[in-house]
Amino acid sequence: MSTHTSMTAPKTHSTPRRAAIAAMVGTAIEYYEFGVYGYLAVIISPLFFPSEDPATALLSTLAVFGSAFVIRPLGGIILGRLGDLFGRRIVLLITVIGMGSATAATGLLPTHETAGLWAPVLLLIIRLFQGFFAGGEVTGAATYVAESAPNGRRGFWGGFTPMGVAIGGAAAATVAGVCSGLLGNEQMSEFGWRIPFLMSIPLVILSVVIRRKITEAHAFEQLQEKNELPKSPLKTVVTKHWKNVLRVILVSFGQNVGYWVGFIFMNIYMTQYLKLDRTTVYWTMACIGIAVAVMMPFWGGLSDRIGRRKVLAIGFFGYLILVVPMMLIMGSGNVPLAIAAMVVLALPMPIVQSVGYPTYTEQFPTQVRYTGISLSFNIGTILGGGLTPLLATSLIASTGNLLAPGFILIGACAVALITLIWIRETSKDDL
């Protein structure tokens, strides 16, 4: 056994970089699609849900957006089970192909004008497919990176998975900004909205090429060699690790609200409600996304040194105290100040995103890691990502209070901060 370990050790030292890049690219596709849908929601809502009331059409579009989150746990359970039984690599290929195909199909859909009721029905079906495969993507990527990284460096390398989150969002904003700037509002509504969705095709090809070259995670290979693979991963997670499932749900709830309110929903807030120039907002989001991505390995690396819980607490507390003041500044009518406020509000995002994923993976043993994180994180994503944009829009429509999304974020961060008290510190653990 010792001979085998010495022979495979070099691979574990060279794998983290390849694993991190493969995870980052695939996760970028997932969040590119969700970002594109969020950025274009205002444009496509009257095309699929024609209504005299723009708010009603937008709510319908966001409800379909949320449907992709509702099915994520099912995708996470099925794909996580496959990942725990047959390996991480093959499932990561399946998820990226499935997500990318659904994204491209969205760009080919007929609108209500040509297909009537079938248009929103087809949009809903495709969103469900997209959500199913997304349920196993970022959790599988985080699992793969954690199991490929050496002890004491999982936070640093784990920061590359959420880097894909930021890059995907930035890419979505960039493509939306270019299309909006070149085509204008009329042509964007006519055909331009399709282009960002179809742009997922080259991204998928790139990701498949990269992921085909990666090897299986070292920790999973060791389980295979010892014949210690689980017979029923989901049952084991639910019966033996339910406390960790609950903790990850609550912390990831805060993480997801931070991303979808603090980043994606702010696009709707600034364009739909504050009436800022759409192209300016897109480019602002793109630049913020790139800056956020660059910061993530730093915060992940810091969590390796001082602990996951401390760094996560910094991020959640940052959201909690910044969101309302920054939203007030955005509403001042001064465009440069609004952009500056958006930059400040985005500062906690790389902290929470980069440290959250390695923390979640470390809460579960290797035998059921993929299933455990997929189940718990995806439930947190439903609560924080799928329902939040719809809830925020509904509250604004019913109360007229534009700060309602900020109060949602404050509540979610308070829940996450309290939960961190019971999260086990795992930065020094051996997986």
- Rounded to 5°, the CA angle 264-269-275 comes to 130
Average pLDDT, the chain: 86
Check the CA dihedral 39-30-155-212 and report its sign: negative
Evaluate whether 77 touches 238 at the Cβ level (below 8 Å). Answer: no
Sign of the C-alpha dihedral computed for residues 56, 60, 65 and 69 taken in this order: positive
Cα gap 319→414, rounded to integer Å: 10
Which candidate, 163, 332, 352, places its Cα nearest to that of 252? 352
Q: Which residues of 32-59 are buried (b: 16+ CB within 10 A; e: fewer)?
A: bbbbbbbbbbbbbbbbbbeeeeeeebbb
Tens-digit pLDDT profile for residues 90-100? 899 999 999 88
Instruction: Compute the distance between CA of residue 142 and CA of residue 162 in angstroms, rounded to an integer.
Output: 9
User: Rounded to whole angstroms, how far apart are CA atoms 40 and 180?
Assistant: 10
Mean pLDDT of 378-392: 83
Answer yes or no: is pLDDT of 269 > 90: no
| Residue 12 pLDDT class (50, 70, 90 cuts) | very low
For 91-116, what is the mean pLDDT? 90
Please state, in angstroms and rounded to a whole number, the distance separating the CA atoms of residues 83 and 80.
5
Nearest to 44 by CA among 185, 203, 248: 185
**What's the CA gap between 143 and 149, in Å, rounded?**
10
H or E element that contains 391: helix 388-399
Q: What is d(CA 393, CA 265) in angstroms, rounded to the nearest whole number?
A: 9
C-alpha closest to that of 353 among 307, 317, 300, 306? 300
User: How does pLDDT run across 338-367, given as a tens digit for each residue?
Assistant: 889 989 999 999 999 999 999 999 999 988
Q: Find the mean pLDDT for residues 138-146.
A: 89
pLDDT tops 60 at residue 2: no
DSSP-assigned states of every residue in 75-120:
HHHHHHHHHHHH-HHHHHHHHHHHHHHHHHHHTT---HHHHTTHHH
- CA-CA distance, 218 to 228, in Å (whole number)? 14
| Residue whose entry in the numeric block shows the structure tokens 């248009």 | 119
Q: In this predicted structure, what is the pLDDT of residue 13? A: 37
CA angle (134, 246, 315) in 5-degree steps = 75
Which pair of tokens denotes residue 194? 């399709």
The model's confidence at residue 107, banded by pLDDT at 50, 70 and 90, is very high
The domain ranges of the chain are: 2-420
Helix H segments across 135-232? 137-148, 154-158, 160-187, 194-198, 200-212, 218-226
Residue 34 has which token pair? 């969700």
Q: What is the pLDDT of residues 322-341, one digit of tens each?
A: 999 999 998 887 888 988 99
Residue 3 pLDDT more than 50? no
pTM, whole model, 2 decimals?
0.81
Residue pLDDT, tens place only, 125-139: 998 998 899 888 889
**Backbone φ and ψ of 241, nearest 5°:** -130, 30
In degrees and rounded to multiples of 5, residue 217 shows phi and psi of -60, 135
Q: Determine the topology of domain 2-420 in CATH.
A: Growth Hormone; Chain: A; (1.20.1250)
- When pLDDT is averaged across residues 414-430 and rounded to a whole number, the result is 92
Residue 65 CA to residue 7 CA, distance in Å, equals 48
Per the model's pLDDT, the better-predicted residue between 67 and 295 turns out to be 295
**pLDDT surpasses 50 at 11:** no
CA triple 330-331-336, angle to 5 deg: 45
Length of the chain: 431
Average pLDDT score over residue span 8-36: 74
User: Percentage of the chain surpassing pLDDT 90?
Assistant: 33
Q: What is the pLDDT of residue 100?
A: 87
Tell me how far the alpha carbon of residue 384 is from its chain's centroid. 11
